[in-house]
Structure 1
């Protein structure tokens, strides 16, 4: 499934042909182990985010937001710190063809939106949430954007194999 034609970027070819790319393709255990860790990472990431976003949208309204966030946010960050490098290892196996895949590009776009949304949330609505203890309309909007972005990332990731 290599796509090493004239339109392939040299760094993608180099990554794919590197010892890392070769090892990921040739090992019977390495690829599945990395894929499992990638899945665990995004389960932690998205699971934590979905719980937090649903709380922002009114689910379990009796649950105080700040204590919930003290658990959910570190789990989400741990999940991202596991999923991202494992995803890079998976990418190295067929970097040239995956980079050209529409579903992969959609996935990366959704991840970027999700990360930018999280940063914007922590700079704005999160501060007012902690100060006033209320979930503002901006926090709810951020939760909707987050749910859509991370759902899109999962959908895009799953569709890579089919597009």
Structure 2
């Protein structure tokens, strides 16, 4: 039976020097996994705080300065989580890519990123004009964001069990 080209890409990654290194080092995989977790903790924690503020919690904190603090943190967390996630993926790519929880995680992350683009192209363009409350469009985006990012975390955790 002939391998499909996409499957061979994942097998090649898994069998690469990187994949072998991730599987063979007793300390590397756990260290990378810890960094991956720290990345998504920073990412989702900062997003959670900002989205809850947009939904009306913590009205004493102005939205614009809070966003100025938390958005760079979320970008840093995303970069760390994605880069470490790729390293983890390389250890068993041909198997993990077929895992429905992994597939769901990727779809949820992609949808969350689309939500970010829509939010920043729409309601966030006028953030300087917001008073103490975010407009309805920003609230909808915040609620969608919460659901998608928390769903991605849950799906990611389920990878080990499916």
| Corresponding residue number in structure 1 for 2:26 | 28
The separation in 2 between residues aligned to 1:109 and 1:115, in whole angstroms, is 10
SS in 2 for 1:135: coil
SS in 1 for 2:56: coil
TM-score scaled to structure 2, two decimals? 0.94
The separation in 2 between residues aligned to 1:102 and 1:57, in whole angstroms, is 31
The separation in 2 between residues aligned to 1:21 and 1:132, in whole angstroms, is 48
| Corresponding residue number in structure 2 for 1:119 | 117
Moved over 4 A (4+): none
Q: 2:92 aligns with which of 91, 94, 102?
A: 94
Report Cα offsets for 1:105-145 as digits up to 9, x if no partner: 00001101111111111111112232243411110100011
Query: Aligned pair count?
Result: 159
**Gap regions ≥5 residues in structure 2:** none
2:42 is the counterpart of 1:44: yes
Contact 1:106–1:156 (Cα < 8 Å) also in 2? yes
2:129 is the counterpart of 1:131: yes
Report Cα offsets for 1:52-91 as digits up to 9, x if no partner: 0000000001210000001110000000111101000000
SS in 2 for 1:9: helix
Contact 1:35–1:86 (Cα < 8 Å) also in 2? yes
| Corresponding residue number in structure 1 for 2:145 | 146
The separation in 1 between residues aligned to 2:89 and 2:53, in whole angstroms, is 34
The separation in 2 between residues aligned to 1:97 and 1:136, in whole angstroms, is 44
TM-score scaled to structure 1, two decimals? 0.94
What's the CA shift for 1:6?
3.7
